[in-house]
Chains A and B, each alone.
Chain A
Amino acid sequence: MPEPDAAHAHQFESFEQQRDADTTGMWTFLATEVLFFGGLIVCYTFGRFSFPAAFEAASHHLYVGYGGPNTAILLCSSFTMALAVRSAQLGRRKALVGFLIATVLFGIGFLVVKGFEYHTDYVERLVPKWHFHWDGPDAGHAELFFWLYFVLTGLHAVHVTIGVVLLSVVACLGWKGKITAENHMTAEISGLYWHFVDIVWVFLFPLLYLIGHR
């Protein structure tokens, strides 16, 4: 039977039911997100198979020096996120808020590095259509590569930004003591979202930067 002190929304019969519904809801949403990115990755695969030379040449213009550290940053952020969820489960308020802030800072760090990288791309005239310039053969297909690169990483950056805002809100809630050992679902489902954003990058990084890299 539900504990009398665990508050649940009116449509639910018990707190457990609400917790189950919230978690399953987030997983279902992530399934949607997989298909969302999946469509673009299909486009990318099509390009990679149809124009392997141009795509490989274009991918050499991306800097692992940006992408690599960014991968590390996001993996670290997932680690602090996992610790934050664990702290929430144990009801350690300060640890929760601390780890959430760390995660948010990692997220912002990722966006800053990404910003510098976009700037470099701009300086090197790799932004499609704006003032794209390509010396090698097959400029059109190279431009296609950068179109996919900007759409994919841009959409990912939008997701990171949403995650940063979301986790900041969760940190505030945690600070106010709204997240307790019994009622930690907000932290847990935000964590699911954050890990998803991380995993998308784990796929994007090798696809865009590493394939064919020497």
Chain B
Amino acid sequence: MSHEPENYLTEHSVRSWLLTTDHKRIGILYLLSIVVYFAIAAAAAAMMRLQLLQPNNDLVLPETYNKLFTLHGVLMVWFFLIPSIPAVLGNFVIPMMIGARDVAFPKLNLLSWYLFNIGGSCALYAVICGGVDTGWTFYTPYSTTYANGHVVTMIMGVFIAGFASILTGLNFIITIHKMRAPGMTWFRLPLFIWSLYSTSIILVLATPVLAITLLAIAVERLWGVGIFDPNLGGDPVLFQHMFWFYSHPAVYIMILPGMGVVSELITCFSRKRIFGYHFVAFSSLAIAIVGFLVWGHHMFVSSQSVYAGMVFSILSFIVAVPSAIKVFNWTATLYKGSISYDTPMLYAFGFIGLFTIGGLTGLFLAAIAVDVHLHDTYFVVAHFHYIMVGGMVLSFMGGLHYWWPKISGRLYPEMMGRVAAAVTFIGFNLTFFPQFLLGYLGQPRRYHAYPPEFQVFHVLSTAGASILGVGYLMPLIYFLWSLKWGKRASDNPWQATGLEWQTTSPPLRENFEEIPIVTKEPYDYRPEDDPEHEPQAQPQHA
């Protein structure tokens, strides 16, 4: 410890953490926060799975069950998934990847973290006071008029956290536009940057609509007047339009960053340049743009006109195209690559398989006739968990393993990592695959009880959830273990090309001794017989 060179972790005081403007430290603050929210939301899921072990279980009251799935949804969506890759990994690596000393607005970055946690505290306060049972979607008129519980407090939590999202998105957009190192042209940017740039556009343009919608609900609930109240001639479906105008793009906030991570992992661990760089880059933007035009597919059975439904259905098929482009390009990148099966790559493989299943079942749901049958069933639950968990959580874990040596300066135990990745994959599939079958057979979502013939699927699902829980706990334990006992990481343990690997592990306080000059495309990996990789940049005075 004594002769350790100065880096961003050197200073230890609490004050130096709480008042930090260093993007790397803010990334770690976010990591600590989202682990807490994730643990609470996962505990809620565990309670639900236990309740569903038997057809008419009385482990929790029906009202409690409603509160559990609301808690699970709200925390997982707004306090884990949305900030997961952008605010943790994005904050940590974006400035380093583009060769900058920090994000464009470091103080705003810290403010985001405080807003995020004030929002999170509001949401948790609502839970402690008795909870909310509206579901994470806050559908009117239930949420405005009939629901008991602390809807307004919960909504304020999400509202405040929304501003954290907006500020993070704004910071990333400006950072990527204005802070790139000399020579870092747009088409030399790593694909992770492209995906987070697209994500940020959604954060900045969609979140304010959610904010105003939630504000309208709060006003309506408090004063009893409002545009969503059918008694006054308002329209609850208007709420659904406005909610999904945010929340469908938000689904892409919850997957685009994962796609960016996987693009990094696939190239690095197959030692090949990405296949079709421009296609992968522009498909991120295409998803962000077309993703704004598909919200109506959540409302095929909500009295939306047939013609609107048809248009939304077609657009939903179209938005699958750029996702498919990515999957094909990743697969083509693997072709004749020199593949190694390190932990991050195992997560990336898991991502590709599960995301493909999640995406294709999304097409089932985009077809109007099929959706009428499957709407609001476990099929939908399974579909979006394949994207959110199978996609985003797996890529988050992959990215965390990949950048862990950079973040902590230590190596995690590789064998344990591989076992955990396998356990997660098995547990996940056992949890959610039976739910496709359940949904197809007609079990609606959000019910605390069910007919006895569904029990076998629910038992399988609960068994899977406990395996999945082990898959989550293992990394938590060995990451913490590695902080003290892990082997010291070299600057570039994966022999990767990105700029973030050309500084020390852990990085210096301002990332680089001097700003590097970028001379190459991002993924200039050499084939297996030449283990030397070509870094993307060279020192200024080479």
Contacts and interface: CB of A to CB of B under 8 A. Distances in A.
Contacts of B211: 36, 39
Contact of A147 (B102, B104, B226): B226
A32 B166 contact: yes
Contacts of B104: 11, 21, 25
Interface string A43-62: 10011001100000000000
A166 to B, nearest CB: 15
Interface string B484-519: 000000000000000000000000001000010000
A109 to B, nearest CB: 27
Interface residues of B, number: 41
B31 interface: no
Interface in A139-159: 140-141, 143-144, 147-148, 151
Interface in A149-177: 151
Interface in B91-112: 95, 100-106
B137 to A, nearest CB: 17
A35 B209 CA distance: 6
Nearest to A146: B225
A21 B95 CA distance: 14
B170 A29 contact: yes
A46 B232 CA distance: 13
A81 B344 CA distance: 54
A28 to B, nearest CB: 5
A24 interface: yes
Contact of A39 (B170, B178, B213, B223): B213
Contact of A32 (B179, B205, B215, B233): B205
B208 interface: yes
B461 interface: no
Contacts, number: 105
B208 A33 contact: yes
B416 interface: no
A17 interface: yes
A9 B510 CA distance: 12
Contact of A129 (B224, B235, B242): B224
Interface string B173-215: 1100111000000000000000000000000111111011101
B238 interface: yes
A46 B238 contact: yes
A9 to B, nearest CB: 8
Contact of B227 (A11, A25, A31, A47): A47
Contacts of A124: none
B219 interface: yes
Given A128-B223, A143-B225, A151 B216 contact: yes
Nearest to A16: B178
A69 to B, nearest CB: 28
Contact of B174 (A13, A28, A36): A28
Contact of B205 (A12, A25, A35, A148): A35
Contacts of A1: none
Contacts of A39: 208-209, 211-213, 216, 242
B276 interface: no
Contacts of A50: 233, 235
A2 interface: no
Interface residues of A, number: 36
B223 A129 contact: yes
B216 A36 contact: no
Contacts of A20: 178
Given A32-B204, A43-B227, A147-B227, A24 B178 contact: yes
A38 B242 CA distance: 11
Nearest to A9: B106
B539 interface: no
B233 A141 contact: yes
A21 B178 CA distance: 6
Nearest to A36: B208
A148 B233 CA distance: 14
A25 B225 contact: no
A158 to B, nearest CB: 11
Given A43-B238, A46-B238, A21 B174 contact: yes
Contacts of A33: 208
Contact of B232 (A24, A32, A40, A141): A141
B232 A10 contact: no
Given A10-B102, A13-B515, A31-B205, A147 B225 contact: yes
Given A11-B179, A21-B179, A32-B204, 12 more contacts: A32-B170, A35-B206, A36-B211, A40-B212, A43-B242, A50-B235, A128-B225, A140-B231, A141-B232, A143-B225, A144-B227, A151-B219
5 contacts: A11-B510, A28-B173, A36-B209, A143-B232, A151-B216
Interface of B: 95, 100-106, 166, 170, 173-174, 177-179, 204-209, 211-213, 215-216, 219, 223-227, 231-235, 238, 242, 510, 515
A-B pairs with the 4 shortest C-beta distances?
A11-B102, A39-B212, A36-B208, A35-B208
